[in-house]
Amino acid sequence: MEERMQNLAERLDLIPPSPTLALDAKAKALKAAGRDIINFGIGEPDFDTPAHIGEAAIKAIKDGFTRYTPADGALELKEAICEKFRRDNGLEYKPSQIVVSNGGKHSLYNTCLGLFQPGDEVILPTPCWISYAPMLTLAGAAAVTVKTNAANGYTITAEDLERAITPKTRGIFINSPSNPTGMAYGADRLKELASVILKHKLWVVTDDIYEKILFDGAKFQNLPMVEPALYDQTVIAHGHSKTYAMTGWRLGFIAGPEKLARGVANIQSQTTSNPCSISQKAGLAALTGPQDSVAEMAASFQRRRDLIIGLLAEIPGVTCPVPQGAFYVFPDVSAYYGKKNGEAVINTSDEMAAYLLETAEAAIVPGSGFGDDRNLRLSYAVSDDDIKRGLGRVKEALLALK
Ligand code: PLP
């Protein structure tokens, strides 16, 4: 590691860059240099933002809705978010319990600042999204990882949770459907967890950003939906990025206890002020307008899930449970560890991802950052043709290892 300049803060040494964004940058650079890179790296829908949402933004500009709004979001958008929770989740929130931020990432970070502090432990069932641990670190809290596995659908069990709890435990993150595994929690598993969470009075941070990308007719569930007693100790983190193909607009929101929402609003008022006023108008149109595109995108992801799962199954030694949502697969490729590419032995997911980028020209995120080094994460928010060509090349590259 580079020696830290004397006058920089120590926290800079604690936060690595996001490996997914780093991989995306590398893939784009190789592509720009003329290489035929297929990018399975980045977690964003490959659809355009639906037209009526864009039009609402253009209207916002024309109408001069270009000034500061309240730091925690315009009232009309917060009301629409309350309506979303009522309609989709049967949960009642008041606008004073909602904070709109600059993307789901910002919402989750501010939630960490609002809930956790030095001395606190927070449980992360892993594999999990890369950014939770650094956010907790910035809040001064310790991330405690609890391994889940493919056999239990990559969900944490009540026994695993009970075993991980110490007197310092303050909270748990649940992300369903999950990035990176695509697995989702069912009501039974959530109910089991709820009783442990209630007993130990833990905060629940439920990251519902992939709520609308669920397959095979599954019904979305989160902890406060299955156990209403958890309502007062739950923060729902959500956003527009994945549901409405709005990654660049930067809109996220939380719903939770009013006191927390006020605190987070104060943090925003002192640090970032409001999320972009134009994006807020677009986000309002997204929530209140036609929802057909949401179902269409989910159906398209389900079709591509089937395609990629079928192709993975044709690679000897690779195993992968069938995801129930989101747009990721998390295959276990460890059967190929210990094999050689020329003289170099591949022993880790980082080495495997580097090999596949070079040899198969496929940009794939190593599982290490998500908490499982046996796996790779592929986003299948790419065209059918890229999935077919990319998986063909990956298979060839894996079989070439000796
Ligand atoms: N939560 C999870 C699990 C994610 O995968 C992402 C994005 O990749 C986010 C939250 C944040 O998304 P955004 O900041 O674009 O709203």
> CA 329, CA 334: separation in Å to the nearest integer?
15
The predicted structure's pLDDT at residue 28 = 87
Task: Evaluate whether 99 touches 239 at the Cβ level (below 8 Å).
Answer: no
pLDDT at 342: 87
CB 53 within 8 A of CB 289: yes
Report the pLDDT value the prediction gives residue 18, as an integer from 0 to 100: 76
Q: Among candidates 375, 381, 228, which has minimal Cα distance to 304?
A: 381
Which pLDDT tens digit goes with each residue over 335-377?
999 999 888 899 999 999 999 999 999 999 999 999 999 999 9
> Which parts of the chain have pLDDT scores under 70?
1-5
- Whose C-alpha lies nearest to ligand 1, atom 16? 104
DSSP annotation of 319: B
CA distance 389 to 154: 28
For ligand 1, atom 13: residue with the closest CA: 104
Using the atom order of ligand 1, give the atom closest to the CA of residue 104.
16
Residues lining ligand 1, Cβ inside 6 A: 43, 103-105, 129, 175, 179, 207, 209, 239, 241, 247, 252
| Ligand 1 atom index nearest CA of 175 | 3
Asked whether the beta carbons of 338 and 317 are under 8 A apart, the reply is no
- Tally of CA atoms within 13 A in the half-sphere of 1 that contains its CB: 9
Alpha-carbon span 108 to 237, nearest angstrom:
6
Instruction: Give the number of the atom of ligand 1 that is nearest the alpha carbon of residue 106.
Output: 14
Atom of ligand 1 nearest to the CA of 129: 3
Nearest to 327 by CA among 357, 293, 302, 353: 302
Distance 223 CA to ligand 1 centre (A): 19
Q: What does the chain come to in residues? A: 402
pTM to 2 decimal places: 0.95
> What is the predicted pLDDT for the residue at 17?
78
